[in-house]
Amino acid sequence: MNSTTAPTEGPYAAALAQFDQAADQIDLDPNLREVLRCPKRELTVNFPVEMDDGSITCFTGYRVQHNVTRGPAKGGIRYHPSADLDEVRALAMWMTWKCAVMNLPYGGAKGGVTVDPRTLSRHELENLTRRYATEIIPLMGPDSDIPAPDMGTNMQVMAWIMDTYSMHVGYSVPAVVTGKPVAIGGSEGRERATSRGLLVATQAMLERLGRPVSGTVAIQGAGNVGLNALQLFSEAGFTVVAISDSSGGVYDSTGLAAPRVYKHVSDGGWLADYCEAEHISNAELLALDVDVLAPAAIEGQIHSGNAAKVRANLIVEGANGPVTPEADALLNDRGVVVVPDILANAGGVTVSYYEWVQGMQHFFWSRDEINRLLADHMGRAAQEVWNLAQDRGVNLREAAYQIAVGRVAEATQLRGIYP
């Protein structure tokens, strides 16, 4: 993808700007920059799905592999009405850096289908998933490209993808997806792994900053990442005062009753209908005077228009790309510490890696073992990012990118350009 076709705004523009900054800072060879900037493979599929009333609807889906130099492509699948090729490209590129900063033997990929899954019946969702999985089978495989859940998808969707792939090859291949149920070869601890990693990264950075490892937290997003973060941060002694979903947010200055909010949302309720706390908007949530702000919904939520209103002095990016590069610079100038997505939310892909290893070996670890592996892995990566930031006088995002881009560049140089 040359500069004439590169977008000027949106998540992919942000991902390219972040990469370019890291490439400048590490003085990356221009030839390597050319290679690492481009997505390696992009597949767009238009496919029919039979709906419950017998009608046929055509959906569009994508799978993008940004880079596979360090190992098989790894990355989630998103079902969202605004999913498009540029968003999937951005998410795939972020996966490359995330796997590299965590030192996982993977490249980066992402998939997406332009659909609001909440408008589909369970049967329609299964039909859509099985047909989309069939369309991307040319790319998928336990040694080539391993999907996982992201926004709008979950363990059940992964189970259907695993089954569809297995039916096509004629035998069960649990390692073709991660984030699947434990009953069919999933890993203990995977469902909460992204949020657990977010907690470990937050604790590690608060400790290194010399701040109390406690205090008030606001979370944007009440899905897999946000809702599990509400529980885990509360259990770890933080006071989670606010959480939101796309319907709006809820606030309690004394701390939300995590189990009650969890139940309300898991039962399918919107937070706008939760009666046991004050209602606030998403904009108000982002401007709360809290110790930790965890955007865990969607890209571009903290931007140049609202960055000045953010009062938290630590932001941990549960979502991918929630802070735009413009907002990042404004926050940095004000001394707000941002723990970048490629580190902060990497707990999910880290346990996905352990799930894949278990699937390949048909040998399984206990939940305690998985949680310990995750904490050790995240602790190690956080330490490396912190140390580099201190050594080079850069912020945590710059340090994480310098490590990640450096690792992928080294691998590319060692392998060489074929032929």
Nearest residue by C-beta to ligand NAD? Answer: 223
Residues 6+ apart with CB under 8 A from 323: 295, 301, 302, 307, 315, 317, 331, 338
For residues 147 and 348, which CB has a smaller minimum distance to ligand NAD in the complex?
Answer: 348
Residue 104 and residue 135 in contact, taking contact as beta carbons nearer than 8 Å: no
For residues 71 and 221, which CB has a smaller minimum distance to ligand NAD in the complex?
Answer: 221
Residue 96 and residue 169 in contact, taking contact as beta carbons nearer than 8 Å: no
For residues 151 and 314, which CB has a smaller minimum distance to ligand NAD in the complex?
Answer: 151
Residue 294 and residue 316 in contact, taking contact as beta carbons nearer than 8 Å: yes
Residue 63 and residue 47 in contact, taking contact as beta carbons nearer than 8 Å: no
For residues 244 and 324, which CB has a smaller minimum distance to ligand NAD in the complex?
Answer: 244
For residues 179 and 394, which CB has a smaller minimum distance to ligand NAD in the complex?
Answer: 179
Cβ 351 to ligand NAD shortest distance, Å = 9
Output the CA–CA distances (angstroms, integers) from residue 324 to 96, 225, 251, in the order listed.
19, 20, 25
Cβ 257 to ligand NAD shortest distance, Å = 18
Positions touching ligand NAD (CB under 6 A) are: 149-152, 194, 220-226, 244-246, 282, 296-298, 318-320, 345, 348
- Give the dihedral of Cα atoms 47, 51, 53, 56; nearest 10 deg: 0
The span from the CA of 52 to the CA of 161, in Å, is 20
Cβ 93 to ligand NAD shortest distance, Å = 13
Q: Is 110 a catalytic residue?
A: yes
Cβ 198 to ligand NAD shortest distance, Å = 9
Cβ 170 to ligand NAD shortest distance, Å = 30
For residues 70 and 80, which CB has a smaller minimum distance to ligand NAD in the complex?
Answer: 80
* φ, ψ of residue 187 in degrees (nearest 5): -100, 140
The span from the CA of 301 to the CA of 285, in Å, is 11
Residue 7 and residue 85 in contact, taking contact as beta carbons nearer than 8 Å: no
Q: Which of 398, 22, 371, 411 is nearest to 188 (CA)?
A: 371
Task: Give the residue carrying structure tokens 């299964």.
Answer: 126
Residue 294 and residue 218 in contact, taking contact as beta carbons nearer than 8 Å: yes
The span from the CA of 80 to the CA of 91, in Å, is 13
Q: Which of 8, 88, 26 is nearest to 299 (CA)?
A: 88
The single residue of 40, 74, 98, 110 carrying the catalytic annotation is 110
Cβ 226 to ligand NAD shortest distance, Å = 6
Q: Where are the beta strands (DSSP E) in 40-172?
A: 41-50, 56-67, 73-80, 107-114, 145-149
Cβ 328 to ligand NAD shortest distance, Å = 16
Output the CA–CA distances (angstroms, integers) from residue 90 to 10, 265, 321, 324, 367, in the order listed.
9, 29, 9, 12, 32
For residues 150 and 163, which CB has a smaller minimum distance to ligand NAD in the complex?
Answer: 150
What are the residue numbers of the active site? 110
